[in-house]
Amino acid sequence: MTLDSLDRRLLNLIQARFPITPEPYRELAEALGASEEEILGRLERLVADGVIRRLGPIFDSRKLGYCSTLVALKVPSERVEEVAAVVNSFPGVTHNYLRDDRYNMWFTLLEETPARLEATLKEIKRRTGITEILNLPAARIFKLRVNFDLGEE
Amino acid sequence: MLREREKEIIRALQAGIPLARRPYQVLAEKLKMSEEELLAKIEDFLEQGVIRRFGALVRHQDLGYTANAMVVWEVPEERIEEVGRLMAAFDEVTHCYQRPARLPDWPYNLFAMVHGRTPAECREITARLSRAGGVEDYRLLFSVAELKKSPREYFQTSP
């Protein structure tokens, strides 16, 4: 889909901060010189077209007490689809990418407790039979910029 | 630790803000609280850092950024802080983490997401970063396919 100038100005505005006031859409409309109906209509379209994935809070999983890790698997090419189906079936798996490397499946796992994280990893190993697996929890975060939507972890 | 009431509010908020004239009023009614209380609670969460950002999550492939690579470097342990901070200072880097090396198979301990308009541009940026950091051993892992991307639903089951 193509975005016109008002779409882009609207997206820029609401990416940084969406108003936390009783009538946020009216406030956005005023800032952009449009009507509230126009803004609501555009947002509906941007959501329907998948440009906006979500409107609202991005939580800090650590502050919520969740623990996370990055996991890499070495999956034979003919098994990628089947292994991905198993991995993706866990709600704690938030992102999963196929990458061009010897470790070719990379996913982030987010669970409420370390015990649940271990249990999910064990279950993934058991159900896929994949033995070459790297569990790479972050030791230190130097940068995390979420305005770019490529991985919340 | 979060209280049960706060978890209920988080559960209600994570579905997103409705497209209605008084969206917070709609959510507050479901939570049996006042709109004012809900707005104050959201501000609290922002202040505490529980909410990192309050706004739209946008698929940026639609906005002209098309290529990204996960870059991994092998950095001597005693230089990791210096190099990590240096890489993080670049605008093209959105994420930069230290992770454990897993020898002998995986010697890489510094990870970054590098963004460019093309894969070639990602390679150029990475070469520039590596020169700046004085680290020679690295790999770029381009994504071939997105197999899953869905935000975590928090507090869906009791621990």
Judge: B65–A17 Cβ closer than 8 Å, yes or no: no
Cβ atoms of A38 and A70 within 8 Å: the answer is no
Helices B4-13 and B23-30 cross at an angle (nearest 10°) of: 140
User: Quick one: tokens of B5?
Assistant: 């009431």
Query: C-alpha distances in angstroms, A147 versus A111, B48, B60?
Result: 23, 19, 9
Note the pLDDT of residue B153.
Answer: 86
Note the pLDDT of residue B64.
Answer: 55
Judge: B154–A64 Cβ closer than 8 Å, yes or no: yes
**Residue numbers in A near B151 (CB within 8 A):** 53-54, 94, 152
Domain locations along chain A:
5-48, 67-135
Q: Among A37, A52, A59, pick the best mutation site for testing chain B contact (most B Cβ within 10 A).
A: A59
pLDDT confidence tier of residue A153, bands split at 50, 70 and 90:
very low
Q: What is the CA B79 to chain-centroid distance, rounded?
A: 24
What CATH architecture does domain B60-142 belong to? 2-Layer Sandwich (3.30)
Put simply, the chain A residues between 78 and 107 with a CB less than 8 A from any chain B CB are 84, 87-88, 91-101, 103-107
The DSSP output letter for B32 is T
Note the pLDDT of residue B65.
Answer: 58
Which residue of B1, B10, B58 is in closest CB contact with A15? B58
Q: Give all strands of the β-sheet with A140-144 in edge-to-edge order.
A: A133-135, A67-73, A105-111, A93-99, B138-149, B67-73, B110-116, B93-98, A140-144
Note the pLDDT of residue B57.
Answer: 87
Which residue of B53, B141, B159 is in closest CB contact with A99? B141
Judge: B152–A92 Cβ closer than 8 Å, yes or no: yes
Lowest mean pLDDT, pick from A54-68, A75-89, B60-74: B60-74
Chain A: closest CA distance from residue B135 (Å): 17
Tell whether B117 is within 8 A of chain A (Cβ): no
Cβ atoms of A107 and A95 within 8 Å: the answer is yes
Note the pLDDT of residue B106.
Answer: 97
pLDDT confidence tier of residue A146, bands split at 50, 70 and 90:
low
pLDDT of A149 higher than 60:
no
Average pLDDT over residues A29-38: 97
Q: What is the CA A88 to chain-centroid distance, rounded?
A: 13
Judge: B45–A91 Cβ closer than 8 Å, yes or no: no
Note the pLDDT of residue A148.
Answer: 45
Q: Among B10, B74, B147, B150, pick the best mutation site for testing chain A contact (most A Cβ within 10 A).
A: B147
Put simply, the chain A residues between 6 and 35 with a CB less than 8 A from any chain B CB are 8, 11, 14-18, 20-26
Note the pLDDT of residue B117.
Answer: 87
ipTM of the complex: 0.84
CATH class of the A67-135 domain in this structure: alpha beta
User: Quick one: tokens of A68?
Assistant: 């996370």
User: Quick one: tokens of A82?
Assistant: 């089947």
Spatial separation of the C-alpha atoms in residues B31 and B38, rounded to whole Å: 9
- Just give the CATH number of A5-48: 1.10.10
Tell whether A57 is within 8 A of chain B (Cβ): yes
pLDDT of A28 higher than 80:
yes
Query: Splitting chain B (159 residues) into consecutive groups of 10 residues, what average pLDDT does each group show?
Result: 89 94 97 97 96 87 68 97 97 95 96 93 97 97 90 73
- Please name which of B117, B63, B27 lies closest in space to residue A46, comparing C-alpha atoms: B63
The DSSP output letter for B89 is T
